Each structure stands twice: as structure tokens, then as C-alpha cells.
A and B are shown apart, each in its own frame.
Chain A
Amino acid sequence: MENLTELPDASLSACENCQTLNSTQQKFCTQCSFPIGGTDEERQIFRSTITSRKWLLNEAESRVRSAKTIIYVLAGIFILFGLYRGFGQDSFPDMVVNIVLAIVFLIFAAWAEKNPFGAILTAFILYLTVQVVNAFVEPSTIFSGIILKVIFIGAFIKGIRSAQEAKEYMKELDKVKAVPQS
């Protein structure tokens, strides 16, 4: 609104992208860089950049959700395995360890709502640590369920990378005043 006092004579127009009032002499919106005085093609490029960023953001967020799902799945696996060790094989300490691990994974899943990057990274490190310890304690377990392990590790790596990318896309969209409502 300060534009009114600064530019009393200039005519103003609202930016189509963010509704900021700009002087019509300007070629770009001063708040979101939309080419208000540009050609149709330039405007089209601006719009499609936003669309593609939104699409990339969605893709990244869906990979983050997959990683979160993996954390829940791991919690479930540890609970089931713990119960099996406890009640099926009478190994009470193993049951406690597995159930506590499951609870830790659930805590990470909850933390992922606030800081997906930190939570998925820490869950990934914990998962690999459990695998390393298992490999030393019981070398025969290295190859058991290897396909699942590869899937989990892949989903973790993609999730960590995507959590970071999603933050970048959000920042870029925020700059051009096009943060998607979620």
C-alpha cells in the first residue's frame, strides 16, 4: 500500500500471480518476479515453472511418505519378531530389545511429521546399526530377507534425499509466492 504515497501519479495494476500492486511501468512484479509487462510467452514460462516445481514437490513428498511408511513397517516387524522371540522361543531379553526398538521407530515416525529429514536419517542410521550388530552376532542373518533389506534401504535413501529436495522446492515456491496449500 505504501506504493500509493511513493508513486502518486503512476497507475497501478495488481499482479496476476500474487496480487501485489505494481507500477505499470515495471516489467516484473517486485514481490514475486512475475513478468507483468512481459510477453505472453514469458508469462507462460513463469506459470509452467511454478507448475513443474509443484509437481516435483508432490513427487518428493510422496517419497518422504514412503519412507515414513517404512518406519512404521519396521516398528511392526520388530514388535512381531519380539513377541515371537518372547513367547515362541522363551527369550525374554530379546523380546524387550525388539519391542523397545519398535517404540524407538514409532518415536521417529512421529518426529518425521516435524522434521522428516532428521527423523528419516536417524531411523536409517538405527536400522543400519541393527543390521551391522546382527551381522556380527549372527553372521548367517546377513542374507536373510535380503530383498526386503534392499527395499528398506532404498526407500530410506530416497526419503532422505527427497525430504531435502522438498524443502528446496518449498523455498523456491515461497519466493514466487506460490506455496501450495496443504
Chain B
Amino acid sequence: MSIEGEEYSEIKSDPTCPACGMVIKVSDKFCGHCGVELTGEQPQVKEDVFSVLGPSLGYYFFTLVLLAIYKLTPIFPEGFEGLAIISALDVTVVIAFFIYLFHDMKPVLSFKGFSFKVALLTIVGALLGSLFISWFAPILEISISDDVFYDPYLFEDTSHPFLMATLFICVQPAIFEEIAFRGFMFSNIAKATTSIGAVYVTSFVFGIIHLSFISLLWLVPIGLAFAFLRMRYNIIWYGVIGHFTYNFGITVLEFLGWF
């Protein structure tokens, strides 16, 4: 008996074509009697790729213009006040897209299959990363604070500088950047290309939206790490944990003035 024989033994009666009811074979890709496709794959309604990508491009360019106004024009107030306003705007935009794309977001927010081991490894990796970057950036003769949107001085005048820095530098980006880049943008772009393609695209745009040139050197790899975690485990929580740990590490080292 041929190898196919085993395949047939599992199916008691011969399979039939769902369209015309004639007998078919398991190995058939098309029904020999009516020509209908048997792979079970329904021909998809083709949607224009730009209407698929619309939400991602919309979120990206809207946020880009907001950040460009904040960073490159004097429109926003200086110091903590400006930071608070841009953060509030950014969070609002993410929440709007989050609600609009909630259908895509639901599965990646699940805690099912959450592994503390992976979370712990992510924390260790993020801590090592923040140590390395805090040491590496001054070697490039640039301060990290020039390259992200925040400077410790922004928080000097607030009642609780360290708490405020933790909220605005660590908590807010960890939640909302992850929801945006590893959440709805990733799901959205993965619809148009492969998951691995979505990993590369979202990591790069995550890097450039920070509008800081040199920091692309580490922002893109950081984005890649979180995006791979998103692809591998299909949830955003490892990215949230890693992002918080990394930013918190940088902030603590900055406040300690170690590097």
C-alpha cells in the first residue's frame, strides 16, 4: 500500500465535493467533476492595500506632525507644562485608535499563556540594555536626554521630580507606545504582509517617530526586540514590561548621575 493508503484509512468513506457531491480524493486540489477549488480557502475580497494600512499611516503621520510641532516649533509651552500637554495629546490619539481598532487589539491584550520566565528574561535584558546605552551614548558624546523627548530638568520644578519622571518617561510610553506600535500598528501591517515584515516595518517607524537621529542606533534594535516578542507570543505585555524596565533603568541612572 502506498503512503496515501494510511491517509485514506483514517477517513471511513470517500470524501465528496462540497459543491457537486461527487466522490473526490484527499489529494485533489480541485474537484475533477465541477472544477471547484477544494482547499477550503475562500477567495478573499480584495481590499486596496492603502485602505488596509489606513489606520497605521493615519496614526503615524498624525502623531509625527504633533511631535514635530512639539519638538521643532515654539508653539508648546516650555518645560513640564509643554511635556504634560503633548503627553496628554499623544495618549488621547492612541486611545482613539485603540477604540477604533479594538477588534485587532483584543487578542494581544490577553494574559493567556503569560510566562513569568519570559517576563523575567525580558526585564534582565531591558536592564542590561539600559546600562549599556547609558554607558554607550556618552561615548558618542551625546547625552541621552538630547535624544529623547525628556530632560531631567523638565521635572525639577515639579513637586515630586522622580515620581513625575517615572510617570512621564517610563509608565506612559511603556503602555501607549506599546499599544500603538506593537499593538494595532503591528496587527494592521501584518494583515498586508508577513508577521516578520510587520516586525521590521513597525520597529523602524518606532525608531524614526522619535525624531532623533543618533538614537535610531538603539531605538530600532529596541523596537525589534519588543516586536519579536510580540510576534513570538502574540501579546504586547512583554513589550510593555521591557519598555518600562528599559526607560526606568535609564531614568534612575540619569537621576543618580552615574554616566
Contact = CB atoms under 8 A, between A and B. Distances in A.
Contact of A26 (B32, B50, B72): B32
B200 A118 contact: yes
Contacts of B65: 132
A27 B33 contact: yes
B233 to A, nearest CB: 21
Contact of B208 (A121, A126, A136): A126
B4 A23 contact: no
Interface in A116-133: 117-118, 121-122, 125-126, 128-129, 132-133
Contacts of A5: 1-2, 5
Nearest to B73: A136
The winner among B34, B35, B189, B205 for most chain A CB atoms within 10 A is B35
Contacts of B32: 22-23, 25-30
A118 B29 contact: no
Interface in B13-65: 24-25, 27-35, 37, 46, 48-50, 53, 57, 60-61, 64-65
B124 interface: no
Interface string B174-201: 0000000000000001001110111011
Interface stretch (A73-81, A82-90, A143-151, A157-165): A157-165
Interface residues of A, number: 38
A118 B192 CA distance: 9
Nearest to B65: A132
Give chain B's interface residue range (CB within 8 Å of chain A). Answer: 35 or more
A55 B25 CA distance: 33
A9 interface: no
Q: Is the interface of A mostly helix, strand, loop or mixed?
A: helix
B64 A30 contact: no
Interface of B: 1-2, 4-5, 24-25, 27-35, 37, 46, 48-50, 53, 57, 60-61, 64-65, 68-69, 72-73, 189, 192-194, 196-198, 200-201, 204-205, 208-209, 211, 213
Given A5-B1, A136-B68, 18 more contacts: A28-B31, A28-B33, A30-B24, A30-B25, A30-B30, A31-B30, A32-B29, A32-B30, A33-B30, A33-B35, A35-B35, A115-B193, A115-B200, A118-B200, A121-B189, A136-B73, A160-B50, A161-B49
23 contacts: A5-B1, A23-B32, A27-B35, A29-B32, A30-B31, A33-B37, A115-B194, A117-B193, A118-B200, A118-B201, A122-B201, A125-B201, A126-B208, A132-B61, A132-B65, A132-B68, A133-B72, A136-B68, A137-B72, A157-B50, A160-B49, A164-B49, A175-B37
